[in-house]
Amino acid sequence: MSDAKTERAYCPVCLARFKLEAGWKEGSVVICPICGQKLILAKSPDGLIGDRVDKGTVREIRERSENFARIRGYEFNDIKEDLLEGLMAKYKRFGDFYCPCRMEHVPEYQCPCKPTRGGDVEKNGRCYCGFFWKKK
Amino acid sequence: MSSMADKPKVYALSTCPYCKRTKRFLDQHKIVYDCIDVDLLDDDKQDKVLEEVEKLTGRRSFPVVIIGKEIIVGHDEDKLKKALRL
Task: Specify the pTM.
Answer: 0.91
Q: Is the pLDDT of residue A17 over 80?
A: yes
Cβ distance A100 to B39 less than 8 Å, yes or no, reads: no
**pLDDT digits over A28-39, tens only?**
999 999 999 999
Angstroms from B12 CA to nearest CA on chain A? 9
pLDDT above 60 (res A2):
no
Name the CA dihedral angle for B47, B49, B52, B53, rounded to a multiple of 10 degrees: -100
What are the chain A neighbours of B54 within 8 Å (beta carbons)? none
Average pLDDT along chain B: 93
Nearest chain B residue to A80 by CA: give it: B17
- The beta-carbon neighbor of A82 closest among B20, B40, B60 is B20
Nearest CA in chain A to B47: A103
For residue A4, name the pLDDT band (cuts at 50, 70, 90): very low
A6 pLDDT band, cuts 50/70/90, is low
Query: Which residues in chain B are contacts of A130 at CB distance < 8 A?
Result: 18
Q: Residue A136: pLDDT band by 50, 70, 90 thresholds?
A: confident
CB B67 within 8 A of CB B56: no
Which amino acid is residue A45, in one-letter code? Answer: P
User: pLDDT at position B5, please?
Assistant: 62
Q: For position B2, what pLDDT does the model report?
A: 47
Per-residue model confidence (pLDDT) at position B82:
96
Q: Are B63 and B77 in contact (CB under 8 A)?
A: no
Within 8 A of A89 by CB-CB distance, chain B residues are 14-15
Residue B1, pLDDT > 60, answer: no
* Residue B31 touches partner A, C-beta closer than 8 Å: no
Contact predicate B21/A100, CB 8 Å:
no
Q: Where is average pLDDT lowest: A71-75, A103-107, A123-127, B62-66?
A: A103-107
**What is the average pLDDT score of chain A?**
94
Q: What residues in A contact B38, CB-CB < 8 Å?
A: 103
CB contact under 8 A, B15 and A129: no
Q: What gap in Å lies between CA B68 and CA B3, rounded to an integer?
A: 8
Which residues of chain B does A102 touch, with a Cβ-Cβ cutoff of 8 Å?
13
Averaged pLDDT, A69-96 = 97
Tell me the per-residue pLDDT of B20-54, one tens digit each, with 9 for 90 and over.
999 999 999 999 999 999 999 999 999 999 999 99
Q: Which residue of A has its CA nearest to B21?
A: A82
